[in-house]
Structure 1
Amino acid sequence: MNPLLARHPGLPLVFDALDRDGEEVRIVGGAVRDWLIGRGVRADIDLATTALPDEVVRRVEAAGLKAVPTGIEHGTVTVIAAGEPFEVTSLREDVETDGRRAKVMFGRDWARDAARRDFTMNALYMRRDGEVVDLVGGQADAEAGHVRFIGDADQRIREDYLRILRLFRFHAAYGRSPLDQAALAAAVRNRDGLANLSRERVRAELMKLLVAPRAAETLREMESAGLLQPVLGGAGDVEVFGRLAVIEATLGLKPDAVRRLGALAVRTLEDAARLKVDLRLSNAEAQRLEDLVGPAATPGMCEKGQRAALYRFGRIKYDDRALIAFARAGAPLDDDGWRALLDQPNRWTPPVFPLNAGAFFARGLPPGPALGAALKRAEELWIERGFPNEPLALVEIVRDAMGLSAS
């Protein structure tokens, strides 16, 4: 019994269409690897087949399924079955590569299809009956947490230089043994190839690496090998990154890729601007990195000061700055002051500023620049006075913001 078929109702339908009449289909890659090592059943299932792309389309449409030619020139058809997408790729081998993309030839040889993949643990197949087919020693490597290139590491990397980053990303996510030294040496020898990669692909791998379980120690390996700076476009602070990862784990916080990137590589606005361009970050991600630059709330602040910071920053900026400041301070994890600071958003919810233009119109202030300035001064007075909501206190704030004396 195939354990993956039971979790994906559409999968038997794909097998029914493709696994017959002289053609075979198998589940391949991450879904097989993750099931073998006890990480459960993945949401995404990839399949490999002996059928050519046109035959895949013909068969699945004849079975009443939908075929989407998402990468048909490289042999990939997305099949929609029972509302689920499955990427089905014809067996292939590389004819020509330039370190970024490959020209492929379709075939029927499972061993050659496995040989063109990156790591042994990613070249595992599973038949419909649940039998695992391992042609490269991937099952033992997956179970040992050993990320190893298939065949010659230099050749695998030169086929696609992104595999340098994938080596570290998979080691951070799945590694339980020391980093493969042959793979590391090949990555160092081929490091110049990183410059040829699209920044979008680099970003995708890096952001996954940053939230992986062994991210901190893996980044240290990259730094020692001289491979971190070419990826970041500048120096990285792996010690602060490591402390932040420990703090997040201690507080039960989910790893956050943008926050971790900021801890690793952002000290100035220039750093944030460079990363936005170099990693093709979204505007929201770039703004969040920019928001890390500046003073954070600290344990030395009184409760009133911490609340003022939380109101001005908002929850995300407050948390990001405070967590990274905690990591940079190197304070003990059980420090009461830092714990109380980080718990402030759970104890107090910032109120909405209760005044508007009407309060100033009532006192004769007309629309215009003076009104905007008075509202801004009023908000600052409201913060300084501890966010009062009593009518008399608000009247006094309006009067003081307009520079009026009490009558």
Structure 2
Amino acid sequence: MSAPSLADAAWFTAAPLRRVLGALDGAGEETRVVGGAVRNALLGRPVSEVDLATTALPEETMRRARDAGLKAVPTGLAHGTVTVVADGTPFEVTTLREDVETDGRHAVVRFGRDWRADAARRDFTMNALYADAQGAVIDLVDGLADLRAHRVRFIGEAQTRIREDHLRILRLFRFHAAYGRGPMDAAALTAAIRLRAGILRLSRERVGSELLKLLAVPNAAATVRLMSETGFLPTILAGVPDLISLERLAALEAALGEPPDAVRRLGVLAVRIGEDAARLRERLRLSNEAFKRLQGMAGAAGAAMDARQARSVIYRLGRAAFEDRLLAGAAHGAWASGEVAPLLALARSWPVPAAPFCAADLIAQGLKPGPALGAALARMEEAWIAADFPADAQSLRALMALARP
């Protein structure tokens, strides 16, 4: 069977990539597209970014790029990486490498010109596919067969690859969720289980980032269950995961046409009370924004609500926080998508009102500035919310009378 070609792919023929390849390929050096762009293109999936591998040393890469009028940024010279920008599009260009020393978290590398050695140091066979400047796909590690079989397999001996960087355990689960079909590769899973203690040596930021990437995969739920059954997930979360609710949320997202939301999925999986959110922030080094969202989902127990109750929650929390609580509560309470869809539509269409009254209105009724005025204003707002946000003058007068001490 002839090797596949990407020569006609729109992203491959686009001007920015052609400019970079034109500058870096040839005159004694070779530059190829590598990794995710090749993998996704062969699977018919979108290509969002393009990485390049080259025989040229980083200094030569920068010289050639600048001579061609391209911007060159030394983003990772110690590891041979230069970011070349063409027409506003960045391309990471990395010199061929071999690992000299690894400690399970970081690697010392030396540059080389051997494409097989460069392929051999990568993680999975499907990530070590190259495409040359003409678009011909080059497979040095039997990655095409694994890609066609939707099999995520380590290059070479699985334990060796994991010992080089224990984050590859989590990447194994993420790539299986995203690209695998059927059972996980037995050798890969066995090696991951044997070396699982290495995850504890990783920085919490790296673990948290990788877990969120996994949860963002549409079909993540089955793989997350495998992570739980093999002991990885309870260790990472320091708690018992709610797998059933995660599976319900994934089914709801699919039925409603909602894209996966990693933070919301994490909340459904691992947050029931506020202390859970605080634990996850510390354990996974989550951003303040992610922590606030997890806090907002604490206590979303799954009780049904009507449109009037929904408007009250939307007003108090805001649209985004309401959607989190709605979908998390629905997942915990096993709602059908038909129960969720109208409330989701309401959250996205209801014009959230501003209170049609202020302190001056109460002062005009004889209240004096001070704590009593603030308390009366708060009572009036609560009564206005309970009355479903009336705007007519008669209703507001009645609410004002109730608010007076």
* TM tier, smaller: over 0.9
Cα displacement string for residues 129-154 of structure 1 (whole angstroms, at most 9, x for unaligned residues): 11000000111211221100000000
Paired with 2:27 and 2:252, the residues of 1 have a C-alpha distance of 56
Q: Which amino acid aligns with 1:392?
A: Q
Is residue 2:224 matched to residue 1:222? no
* Structure 2 counterpart SS, 1:95: strand
Q: Residues 272 and 185 from structure 1, CA distance in 2 versus in 1: closer, same or farther, beyond 3 angstroms?
A: same
TM-score, normalising length: structure 1: 0.93
Give the structure 1 partner of residue 375 of structure 2. Answer: 373
Cα displacement string for residues 133-177 of structure 1 (whole angstroms, at most 9, x for unaligned residues): 000011121122110000000000000000000000001111123
* Structure 2 counterpart SS, 1:262: helix
Q: Which amino acid aligns with 1:213?
A: P
Corresponding residue to 1:180 among 185, 195, 200: 185
Corresponding residue to 1:11 among 17, 20, 30: 17
Q: Residues 314 and 187 from structure 1, CA distance in 2 versus in 1: closer, same or farther, beyond 3 angstroms?
A: same
State whether residues 218 and 250 of structure 2, in contact with CA within 8 Å, keep that contact through their aligned partners in structure 1. Answer: no
Cα displacement string for residues 315-356 of structure 1 (whole angstroms, at most 9, x for unaligned residues): 22222222222222234x35x545544444256443221111
Give the structure 2 partner of residue 291 of structure 1. Answer: 296
Q: Which amino acid aligns with 1:387?
A: F
* Structure 2 counterpart SS, 1:10: helix
Is residue 2:329 matched to residue 1:315? no
Paired with 2:308 and 2:382, the residues of 1 have a C-alpha distance of 13
Deviation at 1:236, TM superposition (A): 1.0
Paired with 1:116 and 1:2, the residues of 2 have a C-alpha distance of 29
State whether residues 218 and 260 of structure 2, in contact with CA within 8 Å, keep that contact through their aligned partners in structure 1. Answer: no
Give the structure 1 partner of residue 50 of structure 2. Answer: 45
Paired with 2:58 and 2:203, the residues of 1 have a C-alpha distance of 27
* Structure 2 counterpart SS, 1:151: coil
Q: Residues 295 and 380 from structure 1, CA distance in 2 versus in 1: closer, same or farther, beyond 3 angstroms?
A: farther
Question: How large is the RMSD of aligned CA atoms in angstroms?
Answer: 1.8
Paired with 1:49 and 1:26, the residues of 2 have a C-alpha distance of 6
Give the structure 1 partner of residue 174 of structure 2. Answer: 169
* Structure 2 counterpart SS, 1:39: coil
Is residue 2:122 matched to residue 1:117? yes
Runs of at least 5 residues in structure 1 that lack an aligned partner in the other structure:
none
Is residue 2:158 matched to residue 1:156? no
Give the structure 1 partner of residue 37 of structure 2. Answer: 31
State whether residues 144 and 177 of structure 1, in contact with CA within 8 Å, keep that contact through their aligned partners in structure 2. Answer: no
Corresponding residue to 2:385 among 383, 394, 400: 383
Give the structure 2 partner of residue 97 of structure 1. Answer: 102
Paired with 1:362 and 1:224, the residues of 2 have a C-alpha distance of 66
* Structure 2 counterpart SS, 1:276: helix
State whether residues 93 and 105 of structure 1, in contact with CA within 8 Å, keep that contact through their aligned partners in structure 2. Answer: yes
Is residue 2:402 matched to residue 1:397? no
Identify the range of structure 1 (345-354 vs 249-258) with the bigger mean alpha-carbon deviation. Answer: 345-354
Paired with 1:168 and 1:105, the residues of 2 have a C-alpha distance of 29
Q: Which amino acid aligns with 1:385?
A: A
Taking only the aligned residue pairs, the percentage that are identical comes to 55
Give the structure 2 partner of residue 306 of structure 1. Answer: 310
State whether residues 297 and 318 of structure 1, in contact with CA within 8 Å, keep that contact through their aligned partners in structure 2. Answer: no
Deviation at 1:2, TM superposition (A): 5.2
Runs of at least 5 residues in structure 2 that lack an aligned partner in the other structure:
1-6
Cα displacement string for residues 208-245 of structure 1 (whole angstroms, at most 9, x for unaligned residues): 11021320000111111111112222221111101110
What is the aligned length? 399
Deviation at 1:398, TM superposition (A): 1.6
Q: Which amino acid aligns with 2:312?
A: A
Give the structure 1 partner of residue 4 of structure 2. Answer: none
Is residue 2:197 matched to residue 1:195? no
Paired with 1:142 and 1:385, the residues of 2 have a C-alpha distance of 59
State whether residues 301 and 333 of structure 2, in contact with CA within 8 Å, keep that contact through their aligned partners in structure 1. Answer: no
State whether residues 25 and 31 of structure 2, in contact with CA within 8 Å, keep that contact through their aligned partners in structure 1. Answer: yes
Cα displacement string for residues 7-31 of structure 1 (whole angstroms, at most 9, x for unaligned residues): 5311112112211111100000000
Q: Residues 254 and 241 from structure 1, CA distance in 2 versus in 1: closer, same or farther, beyond 3 angstroms?
A: same
TM-score, normalising length: structure 2: 0.94
Q: Residues 115 and 6 from structure 1, CA distance in 2 versus in 1: closer, same or farther, beyond 3 angstroms?
A: closer
Paired with 2:88 and 2:346, the residues of 1 have a C-alpha distance of 44
Paired with 1:309 and 1:81, the residues of 2 have a C-alpha distance of 47
Give the structure 1 partner of residue 267 of structure 2. Answer: 262
* Structure 2 counterpart SS, 1:26: strand
State whether residues 262 and 292 of structure 1, in contact with CA within 8 Å, keep that contact through their aligned partners in structure 2. Answer: yes
Q: Residues 344 and 14 from structure 1, CA distance in 2 versus in 1: closer, same or farther, beyond 3 angstroms?
A: closer
Corresponding residue to 1:231 among 223, 232, 236: 236
Q: Which amino acid aligns with 2:372?
A: A
* Structure 1 counterpart SS, 2:20: helix
Is residue 2:335 matched to residue 1:324? no
Q: Residues 400 and 7 from structure 1, CA distance in 2 versus in 1: closer, same or farther, beyond 3 angstroms?
A: farther
Identify the range of structure 1 (136-145 vs 110-119) with the bigger mean alpha-carbon deviation. Answer: 136-145
